[in-house]
Amino acid sequence: MKIYDVTRPVYNEMAIFGGDPKVYFERVQSTANGGFCNLGKIDFGLHTGTHVDSPFHFLADGADLDHVPLEHFIGKARVIEFDDSVTVITRELLEPFAPRKGERLLLKTANSFRDPDAGFDPDYVPIDASLAEYVAECGILTLGVDFQTVGKGADIGVCHRTLFNAGICIIEGLRLAEVPAGEYLLSALPLRITGAEGCPVRAVLIVDPE
Which positions are catalytic? 57
In what order do the strands lie in the sheet containing 3-5?
3-5, 204-206, 182-187, 74-81, 104-108, 142-145, 169-172, 51-53, 198-200
Q: What is the CA radius of gyration of the chain?
A: 17
- From residue 74, alpha-carbon distances to 40, 52, 131 in Å are 29, 12, 23
Residue 125: Cβ-neighbour burial (10 angstroms; 0-12, 13-18, 19+): buried
CA atoms within 13 A on the CB side of 162: 23
Query: For residue 14, which phi and psi values (nearest 5 degrees)?
Result: -70, 155
Q: At what angle do helices 129-138 and 155-165 cross, to 10 degrees?
A: 10
Count of beta carbons in the 10 Å neighbourhood of residue 130:
17
